[in-house]
Amino acid sequence: MILTRLMSLTGLLIIGAIFIAACGAADDAEVVATPVFEPTAAPTGNAPAATAVPADSVAPTAAPTEAPAAVVGDAVNGETLFSGTSGCAGCHSTSDATVIGPGLAGIGTIAETRVAGESADEYLTAAIIAPNDFLVPDFPGIMPGNFGQSLSEQEVADLVAYLISLP
């Protein structure tokens, strides 16, 4: 009887030891698992989303600035074109003196009187890109007719702004 009790007691101890070991192992496993935190995944996920919003807000501002910029003439650049590669100064002075074409002193005011219904801006643009549409009295139609092709719309506007500024 004593032997049987000892054996069953030993058996209980062994089973108990196994349970304790198993529980201990299970506890250890949980303790090791908890340090793996998820918070690091969340910030990196949010960061790209935050930078994407400013990129979108830049696009709308680009559209409105393009439209007004195209037509405004720059008189300073117009003077550079007139005296430089466009060759206007080879035929035109900016005084009253005739070279080959008429002198262009006061042309901003004169231009308003050249063609009925045309503003100075419209007449001067036409005088540059289609010079034979209207010939200045007593001058031959020898002004080159290809400035509408060799000059950009902006460059023509720059030349017109310069001509209107001439005293």
Q: By the criterion CB under 6 A, which residues form the site for ligand HEC?
A: 82, 86-88, 90-92, 100-102, 107, 110, 114, 124, 127-128, 131, 135-136, 139-144, 147, 159, 163
CB of 68 to ligand HEC, least distance (A): 24
- 11 versus 108: smaller Cβ distance to ligand HEC: 108
Contact 104, 166 (CB under 8 A): yes
151 closest CA partner among 133, 135, 128: 128
CB of 145 to ligand HEC, least distance (A): 9
Helix or strand holding residue 25 (H, E): helix 2-33
CB of 161 to ligand HEC, least distance (A): 11
- 48 versus 167: smaller Cβ distance to ligand HEC: 167
- 64 versus 140: smaller Cβ distance to ligand HEC: 140
- 6 versus 81: smaller Cβ distance to ligand HEC: 81
Sign of CA dihedral 117, 122, 127, 129: negative
CB of 69 to ligand HEC, least distance (A): 22
Residue whose structure tokens are 């089973």: 15
CB of 70 to ligand HEC, least distance (A): 19
Is residue 103 classed exposed, middle or buried when 0-12, 13-18 and 19+ CB atoms within 10 A define those classes?
A: middle
Query: Coil, helix or strand for 85?
Result: coil
